[in-house]
Structure 1
Amino acid sequence: MGSASSMLTQYDIEEVQEHCNDLFSQQEIVSLYQRFCQLDRNAKGFISADEFLSVPEFAMNPLSQRLLKMVDGLNFKDFVAFLSAFSARASMQQKSELIFKVYDSDCNGKVSFNDILEVLRDLSGSFMSDEQREKVLTQVLQEAGYTRESYLTLDDFVKVLGSYGVKMEVEVPID
């Protein structure tokens, strides 16, 4: 699995499956490997931020700049592990952990009111004023028992998010 141009062996496939908690079938891993190789234009064995931005759906995502911090320089194994949170078979906990990392931009293990506000700003753009965003966020936090001054850990974050549900899935096309 060193170079992106090499072929996957059965051992490699099983190793990647284990690394992503068996959330992808062997066929899906082979398809993901083909896509990885397409993205890894220089066959370096990892995907750069620029290569990720060549995926239109990724580039158009309002959170792409935040996601780029998480995906820049991923090798194939870590690429599949990252995508596993988007699997239909991923648990709510796995999805929540990824979303938490998106909000926790300084990687301190806590999400502040301002961290959430920044993401809301990215998501809503000019459709909402800062005042509207702050009002909505304050209300959501209050309903979950938190204040503007609260710092949310992952467990707190899941508690707040849990009542709203999370839908984030990608389908892996199998050739």
Structure 2
Amino acid sequence: MGNSSSMLTQYDIEEVQQHCNHTFSQQEIVSLYERFCQLDRNGIGFISADEFLSVPEFAVNPLSQKLLRMLEGLNFKEFVAFLSAISSRASLQQKVEFIFKVYDSDGNGMVTFHDMLEVLRDLTGQFISEQQREQVLTQVLEEAGYNKDSLLIQSDFMKILGNTGLRMEVEVPVD
């Protein structure tokens, strides 16, 4: 499984399924493996930033640079685990953990107002002013019982996002 030119065995598929809590079917894992091998152009079993950026949908994503921090250098099993968090079968907890990692850019387990503002800036671009972003973010935090000085941990994200009907999903095409 380390070398992308090798074939997946039944054992490999089951191991990947177990690693991602059976979020994907065996057929979906095979499809993901085929896509992983296409992306891994140098055949070393890991996908580089340049290889990820070769996917047009990824390259135009406003959060692509933040996602690259989480994705670069993943092997196939880690790649599937990453995708499992944004699968339609992922639990709310898995999705919140994923979102928290996007916001926690320094990986210290806490998200600041500045961290959230940075993601909001990436998402909105020049469509709204910095002042408007700060106002929106301040209002969202206050409605959830926090303020600009709050250091949010993952459970705070669960509290804030848990009642929003959070939907973020990736579809795995099966050939």
* TM-score bucket (shorter structure): over 0.9
> Conserved in 1, the CA contact under 8 Å of 2:66 and 2:102?
yes
Counterpart CA distance in 1 for 2:162 and 2:133 is 20
Aligned to 1:140: 140
* TM-score computed with the length of structure 2 as normaliser: 0.98
| Range that drifts further, 67-76 or 157-166 | 157-166
Counterpart CA distance in 2 for 1:12 and 1:168 is 27
Task: Compute the displacement of 1:157 (Å).
Answer: 1.3
- Equivalent AA in structure 2 for residue 102 of structure 1: V
Counterpart CA distance in 1 for 2:19 and 2:105 is 25
- Is 1:80 the counterpart of 2:64 in the alignment? no
Aligned to 1:46: 46
**Sequence identity (%):** 74
Counterpart CA distance in 2 for 1:14 and 1:43 is 22
CA deviations over 1:77-126 (Å, ceiling 9, x no partner)? 00000000111110010011011000000111000001000000000011
Aligned to 1:23: 23
Query: RMSD in angstroms over aligned alpha carbons?
Result: 0.7
Counterpart CA distance in 1 for 2:162 and 2:7 is 41
- Equivalent AA in structure 2 for residue 90 of structure 1: A
Aligned to 1:171: 171
* TM-score computed with the length of structure 1 as normaliser: 0.98
Aligned to 1:155: 155
- Is 1:109 the counterpart of 2:114 in the alignment? no
> Conserved in 1, the CA contact under 8 Å of 2:2 and 2:76?
no
Counterpart CA distance in 2 for 1:162 and 1:21 is 21
Aligned to 2:92: 92
Counterpart CA distance in 2 for 1:155 and 1:165 is 17
- Equivalent AA in structure 1 for residue 69 of structure 2: K
- Is 1:119 the counterpart of 2:119 in the alignment? yes
Aligned to 2:34: 34
- Is 1:61 the counterpart of 2:41 in the alignment? no
Task: Compute the displacement of 1:163 (Å).
Answer: 3.0
Task: Compute the displacement of 1:158 (Å).
Answer: 1.4
- Equivalent AA in structure 2 for residue 74 of structure 1: L
Q: Which runs of 5+ in 1 are unaligned?
A: none
- Equivalent AA in structure 2 for residue 43 of structure 1: G
Counterpart CA distance in 1 for 2:164 and 2:129 is 22
Number of aligned residue pairs:
175
- Equivalent AA in structure 1 for residue 163 of structure 2: S
Counterpart CA distance in 2 for 1:45 and 1:101 is 24
